[in-house]
Structure 1
């Protein structure tokens, strides 16, 4: 499963979603000059299973500029640029410029509107992963011009081997890893899901075998680190080492030998490891990780997805935990309501003056509730971009947390687990 970053821009135009490919080979943009100075079209040439596929969005209304990538040896790791109100397009916020960077350190020129000093004109943004992941596809909105853009990011390492994705499970109990003199060759993960042990294996068991056990659910893996390198013997890039760190501060032995580019995968706010994805065959070619919401592992999974913003939250809490949450989202001018948990206890609400103000942080606490023998969310609060903070819903008990996006990105949706109460919570934030 690929990770989404963005979108940035506005919510007009028609939505597009290219999905996920192996990588990007070329990008062509149409740049309309003065007085517009914005991007009106983007065309992406993707590679998928050795074949080229093109996707085009927007309208060709100006000069065409291109950026070529030497995929698979080179890949895009960052998309930046700027957006601003364009008065001559009905006072609409549009993407004014784009900049692409690759894993080799190479960058495109500024494609689009610039200032006199050559910098991107308008409000600047950057879309990138935390760990240098490669771009696999784009999504956004377009019509006469490019209204918004976001991207899908993929795992670290090489592009050979077979794709795998373990999905999202409750947590990890044990990891067994094999490595030879070249690379990590094999990984076996013992997950727990709904009280049962689920085993997944990837790669080929070759070399020295070591294991790392986790006292789950009291302790959870919160970081996956290691390295990857081009192996000239096989003419491919492979994962050369791996290690794992838990919420209680334990770190596994190093599996393999640290060679090449180092990385560390972890959630933005200490979320636990819920599953692996990547590529494997005779070795482990690439690896990525799913990190999940904070709190317990019982209840039913929910994910509201991504909306334009949040208008109001209503939260119920009793003497034990947060029991219920109702969110009024806005999407394309319409109000959409999502409810989770079971209403019990005191009900309070928090309204947001959207779109002038937005929620930028979700905080609270979670604790093991011995009465129910489970971990639950015990309190919640919300903070906005204008500095307003909601009342505290529930009582602060257990471990405190605060979820927020990078660079003040607004809350776009909640996810987590629920049943008779709110077991776990996570948040989707806009990437700026």
Structure 2
């Protein structure tokens, strides 16, 4: 009937029993007459455990060796799943990223970008009637060095393979049955969204929603690959991620994301003159640090403060980089703050509706929540607040914007 790419996350393949269950689901899809390519993540928390082991040996392990370490988890789950399928009578072949022909750049071994996919061996397996089981999260450079595609990179592997193979469907299986208005574990009244635009999903993923990797959504949008996010543990329909339409734009706020993995750095008492910001953020770029939000205070007597946020894993490297240029930029002191959270409202309806920011700020004020930083785009408003107040903020905003009401989603 068609070619289906199915991706299963770590919770879906966390145990041998769950792997067998996933194999049965794949077999059912195959028996419907489909060719099937499967992408798998590492079992359960295997990637976190590998990272933790490395941290016990070195505070700053080399990225190349970390990439080689981190991609081993997916190989275990891919091999076991292929074994399970063969045990059920369905021929299956497991492929590593390089065997699948996923070629990446050589810029960052842990956050490599896909250049192209040479899926010759996968196509051969499909012609033989086998299910191709591919390790997610990894590829190989032109020079033969293995690379990782960044945390959550198995999503990107699946989307990229679906595009390269011109698949009829790309299904992402996880432990929730779709994309919700916010994390249903935090807000019990959160609702599943039937369809969401690439833009909205990209913003939610970038702002902390953990359903899918942001880079995978960018890739899907660029190539027009429709994604269906579903639960591994039920047959219920999930959430379709696709191009926006006019009906989607009627919803002002589609969802709320929160991120408690960021930290704030404040450069205090810096001279307010041209070139200071350039010097500071060039240093961040040279260190390979992604900067998120930036705020500069109003200058007083030629002196100002400049604050910006980075991910907590990058905090030490960012602070070290700042301290190296502290004298050059004339900063009085540089301080770090890890007790922050970012709360974001997302919706393409913001383009045509006014008052969203005012309503958000008023809600936070009514709950005694101070806003430390603000960032906006056409379809997003983000605020930095105290980490201890993040849960209160998300619940209050979810109620204020009526995201708990049926019938408001597309």
Same fold (TM over 0.5): no
TM-score, structure 1 as length reference: 0.25
Please identify which structure carries the higher strand content.
Answer: 1
Please identify which structure carries the higher helix content.
Answer: 2
TM-score, structure 2 as length reference: 0.26
